[in-house]
Amino acid sequence: MTRDSQSGDRAASQAIVLPAPDPWLLWAILLLSGLGLVMVYSASAVMARQATGDPFFFLKRQAIAASLGGASLLLALKLGYRRLQPLAYPLLILSVLALCLVLLPGIGTSSGGARRWIRLPGAGFQPAESAKLAFVVYLAYSLSKKREKVRIFSIGFLPHCFVGLFFMALCLLEPDFGSAVTLALLLFTMLFAAGARISWLLGSLFLAAPIAWLAVARSPYRMKRILAFLDPWAHRHDIGYQVAESLMSVGSGGIWGLGLGDGRQKLFFLPEAHTDFIFSIIGEELGLLGSAFVIALYGIIVWRGLRAAFNATEAFGAYLALGITALIGFGACINLGVAMGALPTKGLTLPFVSYGGTSLVLSLFAGGVLLSISQGQGGFLRSQLRSGTINPRLDPAKANARGDPHAWRSPA
């Protein structure tokens, strides 16, 4: 047998034993996406008929986005997440350009007082959605490269904060306060997981708090949202209208719901019923059981996403899985919190479920990347913890000085 044939057999055997993607994670993504198609039609059919004459208008567009997203999921799964490593900085630069272009009159499209979309032939593109995913890829790549220097302020902390603040500032200029908050949460989570000093993270929170308050206090529409959040019933017929209608929608479903398609709030009572407040329609039509099922599916994604991060074969995969899981988890928590009156209105979609082509395609692509990471069996974090080669919560210098056996040291 020749050397070429032996290498070919070895490659074939390796391809055969490649672990399958996490079935729990896959089914959770597919079920949420399928439910999203059903609920988009249920929530938008009446409005679509009146606005366009076609009750299937939004469903058709969402189905096209789901097809593109499904293809991107398969592509990400086939190519593997490591292909994103050399693309970290190009994706970051492209995201910055897109966030700048959306601010230009004639390119960016205004809607609801915000300039968040770039209109393309037959579709729209929301740069903030791609910026969040690009930011996660950048952080995963940079933190994996600097993981032994994360506790050095000028190398492991400050550069990532500068990039994050720049992205947040561009989002606030649209304005898109919800995306800026999501970016801040992603930055905090990934820096914490990478081992940044707690004192730096807490200090950044104290510095950010007054800045965030100024951003809210100096914006009349944001202050109105805060007032509506604090007491929606006192502002039932003006600034609290949307929140009050959402609470009525969720509460009227009871345990079993009114039945699929039988909701009343979507009949021109609840604004944005098929986008930001689609969970309210789920609660009304599918009841407490349907709402709990949706929340459970997001819980499965977070659970299996963290498991994928823990089982990743190397640092980039671990940080990337953590970032994508946080992106989906934070997005779901914020949207659900807004729909149930636990958070002020943010204007963020429910991942995999809400109407929106950019959000759905990128969510499914991110899901494909997460599924690719879930195939890993190396257990990078597990092996590092067992061998004692990494303990980012300890100061390496102090730990070595006192002879701590768990001090952070580079493998030989």
| pTM: predicted TM-score of the whole model, two decimal places | 0.89
Residue 3 lies in a domain: no
CA distance 106 to 342: 37
How far CA 225 is from CA of 15, 41, 114, 281, 347, in Å, comes to 53, 28, 15, 21, 11
Residue 301 lies in a domain: yes
Q: Which residues partner with 125 through β-bridges?
A: 118
Q: Which residues partner with 124 through β-bridges?
A: 119
Place of tokens 């290498």: 7
Helix (H, G, I), strand (E, B) or coil at 120: strand
Residue 411 lies in a domain: no
Ranges under pLDDT 70 in the chain: 1-18, 379, 382-412
Residue 284 lies in a domain: yes
Question: pLDDT value at position 304?
Answer: 97
Residue 36 lies in a domain: yes
Question: pLDDT value at position 175?
Answer: 87
Question: pLDDT value at position 141?
Answer: 97
Residue 61 lies in a domain: yes
Task: Specify the number of domains making up the chain.
Answer: 1
Domain span at residue 195 reads 20-383
Residue 15 lies in a domain: no
Question: pLDDT value at position 386?
Answer: 63
